[in-house]
Structure 1
Amino acid sequence: MNKRQARHFAIGATVVASAAFLGLTLDSHRQFDQLTHADKITAEVKRGKDVWHKNNCINCHTVFGEGAYYAPDLTKITKLRGATYLTAYLRDPSRFYDETRHRRLMPKQDLSERDIGDLIAFLDWVSNVDNQNWPPRPLLVSGATFPGSDAAPGQAVAPGGRPVASGYDPIALGEHVFRNAAPACVACHSIAPGVNLAGPSLAGLAARSAALLKSGAYHGKASDLAGYIRESVTAPSAHLVPGAMYSAGGASFMPPGYGKDLTPAQIEQLVAYLSSLK
């Protein structure tokens, strides 16, 4: 290739690359309203964005990967924590996390109830934006893991860490649901004794549940272990676990939509897995 040919090649490549970039940019702008659900931007969402900026939440948190990385990314927080939990948390974060035990402490912002509601509306709008699963960042602060929550997503593992060879083992399939449901159960529950996250540890769940059903303190409708676990998944407010971290105003912090979002088969697989946690 001589100099003239090289020059023509460079100019042609630049023109093609520029045209491709311009086309992709225009196509992105064409889809922005659909991808961001612009029709869902209400007055509450706009005011919630103002609350977010006024309280400098971005100094510690990120959304869409933008912000500080001192605290968890909140892009999908409402998918992992329901409005009931987030409301109680924003009222008084110290009820949920202790700096000494959990190595984190969110300052109490003294937000009004309206501010809290609008902020959650903003974060809920953020969580529904189609961001193509970017950034691929977990809820936990970078580098932090809790026992019982650090297995690879989708890994079929029986209690005790034994890999399961058969893809049809109901316990292995239930383990997969536990780690891959939306939101993932493992985002709020550990299977390690004494490690309570947003929800109580599920270590020893079978024995504790059997004792609860016999104690007279149970207020739900189940009559056996499988029924109690099934009820806890599909109707989490039927029986409330004592503790300010887990419920408020007679409603569980656990998302109520698993009964609709999971298939009957997935629920039974999850019941099989949780029943195995002796």
Structure 2
Amino acid sequence: MTRQQARLFAIFSSAVVTIAFLGMTVDTHSQIPRLTHEDKLTPQVIAGKDVWHKYNCTNCHTLLGEGAYYAPDLTKIAVQRGPEYLRAFMHDPSRFYDEQKVRRVMPQQHLSEQEITDLIAFLEWIGHIDTQGWPPRRILVSGAAIPGTNAGQQAPAPSSEPVALGQALFNAAPPGCSACHSISPGVNLVGPTLADIATRAAQMLQSPDYHGKAKDVAGYIRESIIDPNAYVVPGATYSVEQRSIMPGNFGKELTAQQIDQLVAYLASLK
């Protein structure tokens, strides 16, 4: 190749790369309104963003890959944990974390009720952005490896049996059950361990304290998924003013088949 040919090749290659880059840039920007559901960017969401910056949340947390890594990534926290948990946590973080166990806790920020409401709206908006799979693993309560969890990694179902499909769904995000529930005895995360949920459900159905509508173990588990307030499990971090902090929208977010699969899996945990 002569010097002139090399020069022409370099110019042509640079032009092709530039055109491709500009094309991808235009395509990306054209998709941003859809990926970020820009139509739901309300004044309250913007107010929540201001709260996020006012209290320097980004000094510890990460959103969409931006921020510090001292504390968990919160990109999908509103989807994984729900507004009831977030509200209770922001009111009093010390209820959920023991400094003797995790060695670091979120400081009490003394947010007002309106600031909490606005911040939740902001995190909910962030949580529904199509992030193309980010973050790579779900948030966990006190680290990347907790007994009874799969460290946030989703594994494919080993078979098409309902129990196997339910186990895969339990570890999937959404619904992200394993982000709040362990399946190891005595390991309580945001919610109680589900290690022996089938046994405890059978016992609860016989208890005078139970006032739900379930008649059997499968029904109790199904009721707990669809209506967490039908029976609130006692526990300092499980409820606020007798209302469960578990999201109550799984009956709408999950299909009937998915709920059947989760019930089959949880009913096998004895």
TM-score in terms of structure 2 length = 0.93
Identity score, percent: 59
For residues 89 and 145 of structure 2, what CA distance do their matches in structure 1 show?
A: 21
CA deviation after TM superposition for structure 1 residue 92, in Å = 0.2
Q: Residue 227 of structure 2: which of 229, 232, 235 is its match?
A: 235
Aligned to 2:93: 93
**1:171 deviation in Å?**
1.7
Deviations 1:105-157 (A, max 9, x none): 1111000000100111111111122221234243138962111112752344x
Inter-partner Cα distance in structure 1 for 2:15 and 2:239 = 60
1:199 maps onto 2:191 in alignment: yes
**Counterpart-to-counterpart distance in 2, 1:229 and 1:138:** 23
The aligned residue for residue 13 of structure 1 is 13
Residue among 179, 182, 185 paired with 1:190: 182
Tell me, what secondary structure is at the counterpart of 1:180?
Answer: coil
1:159 aligned residue: none
For 1:193 and 1:200, the matched residues in 2 are separated by 10
The letter for the 1-side match of 2:155 is G
Distance 1:245 1:146 in 2: 18
Q: Secondary structure at the match of 1:277?
A: coil
Query: What is residue 77 of structure 1 aligned with on the other side?
Result: 77
Q: Deviations over 1:170-212 (max 9, x none)?
A: 2212211211251211111000111111111101111111111
Distance 1:142 1:63 in 2: 18
Deviation at 1:220, TM superposition (A): 0.7
Query: Who is 2:250 aligned against?
Result: 258
Pair 138,269 (structure 1): closer, same or farther in 2 beyond 3 Å? closer
Structure 1: which amino acid aligns with 2:255? T
- Residue 257 (structure 1) shift: 2.0
Q: Call closer, same or farther: CA 1:170–1:72 in 2, change over 3 Å.
A: same
2:40 is the counterpart of 1:52: no
Change (3 A) 1:141 1:210: closer
Distance 1:110 1:7 in 2: 64
- What TM-score does the superposition give when structure 1 sets the normalisation length? 0.91
Give the count of matched residue pairs: 269
Whether 2:172 is the aligned partner of 1:180: answer: yes
Which residue of 2 is the match for residue 277 of structure 1? 269
Separation of aligned partners in 2, 1:169 and 1:130: 30
Stretches of structure 1 lacking an aligned partner (at least 5 in a row): 157-163
Does structure 2 retain, via aligned residues, the 8 Å contact 1:71–1:141? no
